Amino acid sequence: MIHCQHLQWGPAGQPLTPPLDLLLPSGSLTGLIGSNGCGKSSLLKVIAGLQQPLRGRVELSVPRLGGVAYLVQQQALDRQFPISLQSLVSTGFWRSPLNRRQRQARLAQVLDDWGLHGLQQQSLQALSGGELQRALLARLSLTDARVLLLDEPEAALDDHGQILLWQHIQRWQAEGRTQLLVSHDLSSLSQRLENALQLSRSACLYGPIRQLIGQRPSLEQVA
């Protein structure tokens, strides 16, 4: 569950939206849409506890430490950092109760799930954009977090990567995880999920994504 109460965020003294009041139930899958600069990524950071809100609060049904996983955009990474793909993915084991043998088996499974077998020792610099994105998603797969905050998860993925992504999103939804997903691909979102939150400086609207795209009047204004 994600509960935003009179929430505002953005640069100091410059809230990006009106106060947001919204309840996303546990196990829900919600798109987060809007134009560039409207505050989508910043909202994910506030929910994750990585950025302080200007006003209001966010309540979660899980602890932020270990209960929330945040998929960052690739540009937030230093691709010159001397770490292998396998080491990057393995950071998803943080706070995992699995023993060494269990971790090795789980890691092999996840690398195979995301089509990364054979790339384990590649440096970040040597990876293509799609390979790096699948590595970041594989790291997410290793967590036990019940709240998943996905910032443009389809970025740089080819058609096969997109298929893998949505297979995992559907699997996470079936497991009852709460997902909030930033995307600019409205056509794809409208075919794959029901509800979305649309951000703008004048209002925040929540409702069926097809209605949001069509700007029909039956939407719920939540800010």
| Chain segment 158-199, per-residue pLDDT in tens | 999 999 999 999 999 999 999 999 999 998 899 999 999 999
Q: What is the DSSP string of 115-177?
A: T-TT-TT-BTTTS-HHHHHHHHHHHHHT---SEEEEESTTTT--HHHHHHHHHHHHHHHHTT-
**Which two tokens mark 143?**
């967590």
Backbone angles phi, psi at 46, to 5 degrees: -65, -45
**What pTM value is reported for the model?**
0.93
How far apart (Å, rounded) are the C-alpha atoms in residues 206 and 211? Answer: 10
**Which two tokens mark 108?**
């092999």
Q: Residue 215 pLDDT more than 90?
A: no
Quote the pLDDT of residue 216: 54
How much is the mean pLDDT over the chain? Answer: 94
| Helical (H) or strand (E) element with 89 | helix 85-90
- CA distances from residue 134 to 83, 98, 131, 177 in whole angstroms, order as listed: 16, 23, 5, 20
Which residue ranges make up each domain of the chain? 2-79+145-221
| Chain segment 143-169, per-residue pLDDT in tens | 999 999 999 999 999 999 999 999 999
Say yes or no: domain 2-79+145-221 is CATH 3.40.50.300: yes
Which residues is 90 bridged to in the sheet? none
Quote the pLDDT of residue 218: 54
